[in-house]
Structure formats: structure tokens, C-alpha cells
Amino acid sequence: MSEGLRTPVEVAVGVLIQRSADGTEGRFLLTSRPEGKPYAGYWEFPGGKLEAGETVEQALRRELHEELGITIGPVHAWKVEVFDYPHALVRLNFCKVYDWQGEFEMREGQQMAWSGLPVTVAPVLPGTVPVLRWFAAERGFTGDTHTD
């Protein structure tokens, strides 16, 4: 099949954001990709592939419970970005999440970090970089959004 005819894999991505005392958006959660997956050790926003018949919200709820052990509140669809990785063409459905319950458990052996801009964990997954730019634009941040 030629490059132009590949069907994107649908992925639900959770952008978990802490709110500051004044209600503004604060730090966001990044997790590392676990061993055995493409780009192991790279930092990204958590989530995963949609299963047959699932909506983005259903997949995100399932994935964040399976991977992190949390139950999320309302899901706010944010942006969609198609990214062409060497191993797959993916459609990343980014959703902001401000409320969750439960203790974070890294059930796949991954690491987690709460971050602001610039992100200091590295390396950052290429598909994560546009999100950091969107945050920078929303928050009036200038300069590099991450280090590699």
C-alpha cells in the first residue's frame, strides 16, 4: 500500500492539567513510553488506540484507567493532529482533562512527571511537540518549549 493510502490509527490522548488557585491552567502530566513499545523512553501525553466501536472519550477513560489507575472526569475535546511515524500513521485526538480520581499507578512500568513550559524531561515524542506549541500560544510563552 502506498504512503498516501495508509489509514490512520485513531488514538485518544489525555492532556491532564492541574488548575491553579485562580482557576488558570497549570502544570500538565507527561508519561514515558514503556519498554517494548516504539519510542520507548520518550515522553508523551498518556492515552492509546481506540478499540472497535469506541468513541475517543470511551477509549481515553479505558486507557487512563488501564495505564495510570485513575478515573477521569469530563473530557474536553481540544485538537486533532495526524502524525506520520515510521511505524504507523496516527490521528491523535487530544483532549483536556481537569478532574480525576484515584492514585496514579504506573501500571506499564512508565514514569510520570508534572511539567510546565519549557518541558525538562527528554526526549519528547515528536507527536507531543505540537501540543507544547499550542500551550505556548495559549499561555503567551515564548522561547523553546522543550529540550532534547
Q: Which of the four pLDDT bands, split at 50, 70 and 90, describes residue 148?
A: confident
pLDDT more than 90, % of the chain: 87
CATH code for position 108: 3.90.79.10
Q: Return d(Cα 68, Cα 66) in angstroms, integer.
A: 6
The reported pLDDT for the residue numbered 2 is: 45
Identity of the amino acid at 20: S
10-33 confidence digits (pLDDT tens): 999 999 999 888 888 999 999 999
Q: Which of the four pLDDT bands, split at 50, 70 and 90, describes residue 4?
A: low
Which residues are registered as beta bridge partners of 89?
84
**Residue 89 domain flag:** yes
**Residue 88 domain flag:** yes
Mean pLDDT (whole number) for 111-123 = 97
**Residue 134 domain flag:** no
**Residue 148 domain flag:** no
**Residue 135 domain flag:** no
Mean pLDDT (whole number) for 42-58 = 97
**Residue 32 domain flag:** yes
**Residue 54 domain flag:** yes
Which residues are registered as beta bridge partners of 114?
29
Range of the domain at 66: 3-116
62-82 confidence digits (pLDDT tens): 999 999 999 999 999 999 999
Alpha helix (H) residue ranges in 18-144:
56-68, 129-139
Q: How many domains does the chain have?
A: 1
**Residue 70 domain flag:** yes
Work out the mean pLDDT of the chain and round it to a whole number: 94
